[in-house]
Amino acid sequence: MNLKIALSPMAGVNDKIFRELCISMGADIAFTEMISVNGLTSNNFKSFEMIPKSGKRQVVQLFGREPELFLKSAEIVRSKNGSNWIDINAGCPVKKVVKRGYGSALMEDPRRIRSIVELLSKNGFKVSIKIRLGREKNKNYLEVAKAASDGGAFLVSIHGRTVEQGYNGKANWESAKVLKEALPGVKIGISGDIFTYFDAYHAINQTKADFLLIARGAIGNPWIFKVVREYFKSQKVIHVDLSERKRVFNLHLDKTIKEYGIHGIILFRKFVVAYLKGLPNSHEVKLKALKKSNVEELKRVVNGFFDKLISCEQGGVERGNIKG
């Protein structure tokens, strides 16, 4: 299968632990959180810490505005992990980012995008870029994609929403099809509303995109990569049972605590909610779990809930009553 399945960049989510977990679950590539070129070139410790130690299957996404700072930052990344692949963030819709001319604000200046990509390409970097549709009144994604292509980008990934939409509304997958037909020499990635194997299949079937980027659909659901891969391979659906869900929850939590210490509990809260999402009678458990500041107490609450569900699934609780 030529399709590449990737963990899409997500600020505040794609730390080292989550990237490695998703790769172990079948992701071909895991992008980092967006890293500031201003931070890297001013020796900001936090920015440096975000660079993966290995650049083999983990790709750094940079955000900023000045071509020279992109180049300096890319050289820093290459010196730290040997990676020549740099992804450019031209799609972040967050107001405080856009206000400073970063993220999706870059789409308002296609010539600048070409300059950034061209400078990186001429210095031996393999360049990709992630964009949006553009603004509601100026959906210039095709113009921007062509500018990136002219600069030497090998991959253009598009999140099929406008800047104003943020993450609301429905993603327009048709935009990836437009790019695929207009830019035959460039790989095209599709992003937005990929939450299940069914979504993935229809997104690729509709657009013929080369890369499938999964973002929120992987939070609390890292096995989506192997589920999607198996479905494309055999049209068989892998069922992830509750025991596996419990195992991965504990694995993810343990690695997070090992990496960050007790502060990891706070960082892990978004994942706690996600691992419990969609499970019956989970609302109260989520509330209890989010109040815990002790790892063992958090595990007791969540694992106890999983154990009751597993017992119910195996017929161990009369009429499926898991409240007792």
Residue spans in the chain of domains classed CATH 3.20.20.70 = 4-234
Domain covering 4-234 in this structure, CATH number: 3.20.20.70
Query: Which positions are annotated as active-site residues?
Result: 92
Neighbours of 155 (CB within 10 A): 22
Map 217-284 to HEC letters.
HHCCCCCHHHHHHHHHHHCCCCCCCHHHHHHHHHHHHHHHHHHHHHHHHHHHHHHHHHHHCCCCCCHH
CATH pick for 242-320 out of 1.20.1530, 1.50.10, 3.40.50, 1.10.1200 = 1.10.1200
- Residue 84 vs residues 128, 144, 208: alpha-carbon distances, Å: 11, 23, 26
CATH 1.10.1200 domain range(s) in the chain? 242-320
pLDDT tens, N- to C-terminus, the chain (324 residues) = 689 999 999 999 999 999 999 999 999 999 999 999 999 999 999 999 999 998 889 999 999 999 999 999 999 999 999 999 999 999 999 999 999 999 999 999 999 999 999 999 999 999 999 999 999 999 999 999 999 999 999 999 999 999 999 999 999 999 999 999 999 999 999 999 999 999 999 999 999 999 999 999 999 999 999 999 999 999 999 999 999 999 999 999 999 999 999 999 999 999 999 999 999 999 999 999 999 999 999 999 999 999 999 988 665 444 344 443
- What is the rounded distance in angstroms from the CA atom of residue 118 to the CA atom of residue 71? 10
Distance CA 8, CA 30 (A): 7
